């Protein structure tokens, strides 16, 4: 066995998992819009790329595709998050939004047609600075979006919260009268 072959076992193992090739192809075809700025968003983008997402581009970047298939939102303010999430909802694409809150925070997953971010976000969040919990939240957001891309139509909306070092996940629910009840648009 050459040194090059010795580096291949992970790929060989992947091929033995039934259906995994399809998932990889689906991820490779994905075009993800990254909304926000800063190191935490860069970490999330790195996570998406390592997980197999084919194209990840910054909002408004030169050469960015006209349409995205998903969005990862790590915006600096709540209004910016709400705006970006509403845009993604109207486009009918899955999106994940990070709400940092200093030593905790949350990640809201919104598959197409699920309760929107405005409905599903942690309404008590003070949205304090990113550190120290920003890094794990960024990785978590990347994983959540990879899941939505890989298993579209099979996963419901949920919010994962990080509080005092513990993660909890709960399905999101729609607020009465929200426009997201009518679907995209």
CB of 131 or CB of 178, closer to Zn ion: 178
C-alpha distance across the termini of the chain, in Å: 56
Rounded CA separation 84/153 (Å) = 22
User: CB 119 → Zn ion: shortest distance, Å?
Assistant: 3
Gap between the Cα atoms of 43 and 155, Å rounded = 24
What CA–CA distance (Å, rounded) separates 85 from 75?
Answer: 10
Contact, 128 vs 141, CB < 8 A?
A: no
DSSP 116: P
Looking at residue 78, the DSSP 8-state letter turns out to be H
Instruction: Give the integer Cα–Cα distance in Å for 148 and 183.
Output: 17
**Which residue number, 44 or 119, has a Cβ lying nearer to Zn ion?**
119
Q: Is 114 in the site for Zn ion (CB under 5 A)?
A: no
When the beta carbons of 40 and 89 are compared against Zn ion, the nearer one is 89
171 contributes a contact to Zn ion by CB under 5 A: no
Q: Rule CB under 5 A: is residue 162 a binding residue for Zn ion?
A: no
Site string for Zn ion, 64-103 (x = CB under 5 A): ----------------------------------------
Q: State the nearest-atom distance from the C-beta of 182 to Zn ion, in Å.
A: 10
Check residue 180 for interaction with Zn ion (CB under 5 A).
Answer: yes
Single residue of 72, 119, 140, 162 touching Zn ion by CB under 5 A: 119
Q: Is the peptide bond before 132 cis (omega within 30 degrees of 0)?
A: yes
Nearer to Zn ion among residue 13 and residue 178 (C-beta)? 178
- Which region among 31-39, 50-58, 118-126, 161-169 touches Zn ion (by CB under 5 A)? 118-126
Where would I find the beta strands (DSSP E) of 47-177?
Answer: 55-58, 70-74, 95-101, 104-110, 158-163, 166-171
178 binds Zn ion, rule: CB under 5 A: yes
Interface size with Zn ion, residues (CB under 5 A)? 4
Is 116 a binder of Zn ion (CB under 5 A)? yes
Question: What are the residues binding Zn ion (CB under 5 A)?
Answer: 116, 119, 178, 180
């Amino acid at each position: 066995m050459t040194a090059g072959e010795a580096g291949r076992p992970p790929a060989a193992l992947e091929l033995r998992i039934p259906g995994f090739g399809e998932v990889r192809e689906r991820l490779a075809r994905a075009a993800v819009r990254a909304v926000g700025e800063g190191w935490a968003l860069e970490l999330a983008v790195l996570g998406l790329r390592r997980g197999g997402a084919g194209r990840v581009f910054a909002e408004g970047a030169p050469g960015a595709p006209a349409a995205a298939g998903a969005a990862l939102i790590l915006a600096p303010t709540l209004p910016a998050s709400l705006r970006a999430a509403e845009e993604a909802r109207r486009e009918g694409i899955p999106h994940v939004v990070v709400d940092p809150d200093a030593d905790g925070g949350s990640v809201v997953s919104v598959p197409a047609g699920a309760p929107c971010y405005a409905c599903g976000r942690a309404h008590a969040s003070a949205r304090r600075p990113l550190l120290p919990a920003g890094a794990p939240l960024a990785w978590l957001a990347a994983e959540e979006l990879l899941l939505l891309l890989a298993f579209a139509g099979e996963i419901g909306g949920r919010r994962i919260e990080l509080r005092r070092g513990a993660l909890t996940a709960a399905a999101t629910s729609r607020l009465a009268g929200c426009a997201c009840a009518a679907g995209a648009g």
